[in-house]
């Protein structure tokens, strides 16, 4: 670690953040599928006031999170070159 430049550390940080965002996106997508299947098996009653989100909400946030995570993870070298021009 002593011979790493600041651009190398920045690249590791960008990839780590990308991985975390990607995993959170997968979690939201998985929760959306779970909610969708659960609503197919046990449809929610119309008279109950539920605070649970719809499956569409999970997908609306999960898919962009997944895409941003992929971009951050795989395009980290490009971001490092953009930030640290030599």
Confidence of residue 15 (pLDDT cuts 50, 70, 90): very high
Residue 25's Cβ-count burial label (10 Å; 0-12, 13-18, 19+) is buried
Confidence of residue 81 (pLDDT cuts 50, 70, 90): very high
- Give me the pLDDT at residue 42, please: 76
pLDDT in tens, 43-80: 766 655 555 568 888 999 999 999 999 999 999 999 99
Rounded to two decimals, the pTM is 0.81
- Give me the pLDDT at residue 18, please: 97
- Give me the pLDDT at residue 50, please: 59
How distant, in Å, are the alpha carbons of 23, 48, 53, 57, 73 from that of 20?
Answer: 5, 35, 22, 20, 9
Confidence of residue 83 (pLDDT cuts 50, 70, 90): very high
Distance CA 62, CA 59 (A): 5
């Amino acid at each position: 670690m002593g011979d790493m430049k600041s651009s190398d550390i920045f690249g590791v940080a960008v990839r780590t953040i990308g991985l975390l965002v990607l995993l959170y996106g997968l979690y939201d997508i998985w929760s959306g599928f779970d909610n969708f299947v659960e609503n197919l098996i046990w449809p929610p009653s119309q008279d109950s006031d539920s605070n649970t989100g719809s499956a569409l909400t999970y997908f609306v946030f999960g898919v962009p999170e997944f895409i941003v995570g992929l971009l951050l993870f795989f395009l980290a070298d490009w971001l490092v070159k953009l930030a640290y021009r030599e």
